[in-house]
């Protein structure tokens, strides 16, 4: 058995910030989850549809691993990333890190992990690995998934090698702090501005505030779009709210980030952004509940209600980001 010493297996709300927290704490930098999420400009929105999907995907954050890249660049951290199509080489990459006394981050498809009870393919899942024996890998996942968990080495290999949407080629990564790290307090406003600029000026209509507005027009038609509405809509709602893909979780994290910024930086625009994202977080939870209720009750009218709330959300989030862009 090989276990990295000094790892605090603390499960947080979001998978990528959970893994980042493990790696950063081991390096001596302990940041609250909302700060990691906000400094990484993690908030976004995507409405993504594909023929093979039972229902479209509503994503409430930037694409997988972009938060990690953003945070590392903003704080001057050394981010070392390894990818390979070889399962043997993939294992050697991560085992070398663990054997060297450091935890590693892994991007994988959570469908294959033994401890996941909800079997849904999601190739953008991120965990931290801090040990292994001849049978299992020792991981840190979100608090919802149990924090410190184990999965078989075979299951881990399948999860890392899965191909499809949002997957990576057996990606593993480490983070190293420089001798004189950038002061994170100096990066709060630039991170907020960057996030607001991307949200307000998305390159396509499926992203940012335009994506939320598009979702408002599309969600009422999900009853016809779903392969099996009574199965697919509750599953989509569960993934949104409990899985965190597009429910209130990321808005709540950003709300808490803005609250911390308002205390440190101050200003009317920051307070406006915080107030509006507090409202948005609650409304996104309502959207997920309405989508789930439509499938459970067999009444597509709940999807019409969800569309109405989404129209309000498109306006609220646009106004919030307009205020934050003025910082």
What fold, for 2-30+78-176? Cathepsin B; Chain A (3.90.70)
Determine the distance from the C-alpha atom of residue 222 to the mean position of all C-alpha atoms in its chain, rounded to a whole number: 24
Task: Please tell me the predicted confidence (pLDDT) of residue 303.
Answer: 98
Work out the average pLDDT over 220-226.
96
Longest dimension (CA), the chain: 59
Q: Would you place residue 51 in the very low, low, confident or very high pLDDT band (cuts 50, 70, 90)?
A: confident
Rounded Cα distance, 253 and 255, in Å: 5
Q: How many Cα atoms within 13 Å fall on the side-chain side of residue 82?
A: 19
What are the DSSP calls for 167-226, one per residue? --SS-EEEEE--SSPPPGGGGHHHHHHHHHHHHHS-SSTTBHHHHHHHHHHHGGGHHHHS
Work out the average pLDDT over 252-260.
97
Is the pLDDT confidence value at 312 over 90? yes
Task: Please tell me the predicted confidence (pLDDT) of residue 92.
Answer: 98
Task: Please tell me the predicted confidence (pLDDT) of residue 326.
Answer: 97
Provide the percentage of residues in the chain whose pLDDT is more than 90. Answer: 91
119 versus 324: which is more confidently predicted? 324
Contact 201, 277 (CB under 8 A): no
Is the pLDDT confidence value at 290 over 80? yes
Task: Please tell me the predicted confidence (pLDDT) of residue 210.
Answer: 97
What are the DSSP calls for 106-159, one per residue? EEE-GGG-TT-SS----TTEEEEEEEE-SSEEEEE--TTTTSEEEEEHHHHHHH
- The pTM for the full model equals 0.95
Please list the helix, strand and coil fractions of the chain in percent, rounded to the nearest 5, in that order: 55, 15, 30
Task: Please tell me the predicted confidence (pLDDT) of residue 118.
Answer: 79
3-state secondary structure of 292: helix
Task: Please tell me the predicted confidence (pLDDT) of residue 186.
Answer: 96
Task: Please tell me the predicted confidence (pLDDT) of residue 53.
Answer: 85
Joined together, the tokens standing for residue 282 give: 């609650």
Task: Please tell me the predicted confidence (pLDDT) of residue 104.
Answer: 98
Task: Please tell me the predicted confidence (pLDDT) of residue 110.
Answer: 95
How is the chain split into domains, by residue range? 2-30+78-176, 184-325
Contact 25, 162 (CB under 8 A): no
3-state secondary structure of 259: helix
Q: What is the pLDDT of residues 18-37, one digit of tens each?
A: 999 999 999 999 999 999 99
């Amino acid at each position: 058995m090989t276990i990295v010493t000094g790892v605090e297996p603390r499960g947080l709300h979001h998978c990528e910030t959970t893994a980042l927290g493990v790696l950063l704490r081991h390096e001596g930098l302990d940041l609250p989850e909302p700060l990691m999420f906000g400094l990484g400009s993690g908030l976004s929105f995507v409405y993504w549809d594909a023929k093979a999907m039972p229902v479209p995907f509503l994503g409430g954050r930037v694409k997988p691993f972009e938060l990690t890249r953003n945070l590392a660049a903003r704080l001057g951290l050394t981010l070392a990333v390894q990818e390979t199509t070889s399962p043997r080489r993939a294992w050697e990459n991560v085992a070398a890190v663990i054997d060297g006394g450091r935890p590693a981050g892994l991007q994988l498809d959570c469908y294959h992990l033994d401890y996941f009870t909800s079997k849904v393919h999601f190739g953008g899942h991120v965990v931290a690995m801090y040990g292994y024996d001849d049978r299992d890998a020792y991981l840190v996942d979100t608090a919802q998934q149990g924090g410190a968990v184990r999965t078989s080495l075979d299951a881990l290999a399948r999860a890392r090698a899965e191909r499809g949407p949002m997957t990576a080629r057996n990606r593993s990564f480490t983070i190293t702090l420089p001798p004189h790290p950038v002061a994170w307090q100096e990066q709060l406003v630039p991170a907020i501005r960057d996030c607001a600029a991307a949200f307000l000026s998305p390159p396509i209509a499926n992203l940012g505030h335009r994506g939320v507005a598009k979702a408002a027009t599309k969600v009422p038609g999900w009853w016809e779009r779903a392969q099996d509405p009574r199965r697919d809509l509750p599953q989509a709602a569960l993934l949104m709210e409990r899985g965190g893909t597009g429910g209130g979780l990321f808005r709540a994290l950003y709300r808490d980030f803005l609250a911390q910024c308002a205390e440190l930086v101050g200003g009317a625009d920051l307070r406006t952004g915080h107030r509006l994202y507090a409202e948005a977080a609650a409304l996104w939870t309502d959207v997920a509940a309405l989508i789930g209720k439509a499938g459970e009750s067999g009444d597509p009218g709940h999807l019409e209600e969800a569309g109405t709330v989404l129209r309000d959300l498109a306006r609220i989030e646009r106004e919030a980001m307009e205020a934050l862009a003025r910082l």
